[in-house]
Structures are given as structure tokens and as C-alpha cells.
Amino acid sequence: MNMPTDTRALYDKTADNWARQQPSSLSDYTARPQVMALCEPLAGKLVLDLGCGEGYCSRMLRQRGAQVVGVDVSERMIELARQAERAHPLGIRYEAADAVTADLGEASVDLVVAVFLFNYLDVEQMRKTMANVHRMLWPGGSFVFAVPHPAFAFMREAAPPFYFDVGSAGYFSARNKLFGGRIWKRDGSALDVQLVHKTLEDYFEGLRAAGFTAMPTVTELTVTRQMVEMDEKFFGPLLDLPLHLAIKVTRA
Ligand SMILES: C[S@@+](CC[C@H](N)C(=O)[O-])C[C@H]1O[C@@H](n2cnc3c(N)ncnc32)[C@H](O)[C@@H]1O
């Protein structure tokens, strides 16, 4: 079993396995393109990518016309993001900081993006971060985030290409507990990931408490028939399972 560990240590240690310029892991197909679609229109927008890792989504946002700042708690991830920026300059700025505690300014950006950040934070940390995000957005600005679908871990055995090992825990008793998991790349290698489980109520109550009052757009993401046609061995085992949630909410 892959045991959970300190987030920053996990990502400093495994950062090099995440570095990529092309889609490689399962969620590069099943989540990130769908998140980008939710972020549009991006041309000319000021965007903050929270938990940017080695910059994969920051680069996608920039290539769609946004001005991007990426923030991540892992210094090694930020080092790799800056290396990619030096190799192929896009004008993205990267900073090492903790999304929960950093002072990231007020009413200064059009869009905040957080792709698989909240599964590393407990409920209280997520609520603080959502409140920070609300403060950072201009009125009319949006927050787009992706998280593991809250039901997924309880519907899935510990097998490729994606799982979280919740053992015998149930949906409610697992709340706010940390579990290890793995997500595979199409080359057959695996990445260690973590889940602090949250219920659906946690996400929507967190947004409400942060000050978001508009109805969010919620997309439940899974593998598509086209993905299975492209690579049945890889995507086939997850057909019909809810994998991730992508949520967009706009600040009034
Ligand atoms: C699964 S990776 C996703 C990276 C990137 N968003 C992507 O989609 O490729 C999660 C990232 O969240 C970062 N992270 C976790 N906790 C954080 C925190 N409190 N503040 C900032 N970044 C954090 C990790 O260091 C890691 O790079």
C-alpha cells in the first residue's frame, strides 16, 4: 500500500516524475482539458494557478492567452516549472508559497485555478483557501477547481489506472482523513497521490462560507468512449465510474 506522507516532502521527492510537456497521466486526459474548457474565455485574463506543480496547467492557460502566475508549496516543483520556463519562455511567473497561509493579495485577478490541490488540504485548510480565493478575485471573476469525485474512492478497488486506498472506511467516517493512492501514466509508471476525503457538502459549504453566492457549474468527469477507443487497456477499467469533479463559480 502507498502510505500517505507530508505533502511538501511527497512532492519535493516525486516532482521529477510529474514533469511533462504532453499528456501522460490518466487525469491529463480525463480532467485537465475539461478544466481548461471551463476556464475559457482566457485571452487577456489575469490568472493565478494555485498548486501549479511543475507548471503543466499554467502553460496550458498561457497558451490559451492568459497572463499566469503559478504558486506551489513544493520548492522542487517550482524549480522544475522555472526550468521549463527558461527552456521555452512563455512569460509565466512561479512562486513557492503555501496556498493556505500566503497573502496573495486582494481583488487582483480574473480567475483562480486549483487543479487537484484540495485533496491535499483538510476541510479547514480548504475553507481558508476558498476564502483567500474569494478575496483575490475581482467581482465577476471566477474560481475553477478540480478534485477527485467524492464517491470515487469508495467505488474502486486498488488497481491501475487510478485508486485511493480508503480500506474499510465509509463515505462519512472517512471525512477529513488522509489516504494514499496512485494514478498511472500511459507509459505504465505510477504517481503517488493523496486524498483528504471531503463530502460534497464540504465543497459547497466551503464555497458558501467563503462568500460565493452564485450557482456553481459542476461537471462530473469520467473516461469517454473515445478514450476507450484510443487505449482500451488503459482507460477501459474506469468506464462509467465518476472520477473527478470540475467546479466553476463566479464571484458576485
Ligand atoms: C496533484 S499535483 C497537481 C499539480 C498541477 N495543478 C497539475 O494539475 O499538474 C498537486 C500539487 O499541489 C501542491 N500543493 C499541495 N498542498 C499545497 C499547498 N498548501 N499550497 C500550495 N500548493 C500545494 C503540491 O505540491 C502539488 O504540486
Q: How many whole angstroms from 235 Cα to the centroid of ligand 1?
A: 24
Establish whether residue 80 lines the binding site of ligand 1, counting it when its CB lies within 6 angstroms of any ligand atom.
no
Of all atoms in ligand 1, which is nearest to the CA of residue 15? 27
pLDDT, position 114: 98
Residue ranges in the chain modelled with pLDDT below 50: 1-3
Q: How many whole angstroms from 72 Cα to the centroid of ligand 1?
A: 6
* Domains along the sequence of the chain with CATH: 7-149+199-250 (3.40.50.150)
Q: How many whole angstroms from 52 Cα to the centroid of ligand 1?
A: 6
Q: How many whole angstroms from 120 Cα to the centroid of ligand 1?
A: 8
- Note the pTM of the prediction, 2 decimals: 0.96
Establish whether residue 53 lines the binding site of ligand 1, counting it when its CB lies within 6 angstroms of any ligand atom.
yes
Which amino acid, residue 165? D
Residue nearest to atom 16 of ligand 1 (CA): 120
pLDDT, position 6: 77
pLDDT, position 251: 97
Establish whether residue 51 lines the binding site of ligand 1, counting it when its CB lies within 6 angstroms of any ligand atom.
yes
Q: How many whole angstroms from 229 Cα to the centroid of ligand 1?
A: 31
Nearest to 110 by CA among 41, 176, 174, 160: 41
pLDDT, position 242: 98
pLDDT, position 5: 57
pLDDT, position 107: 79
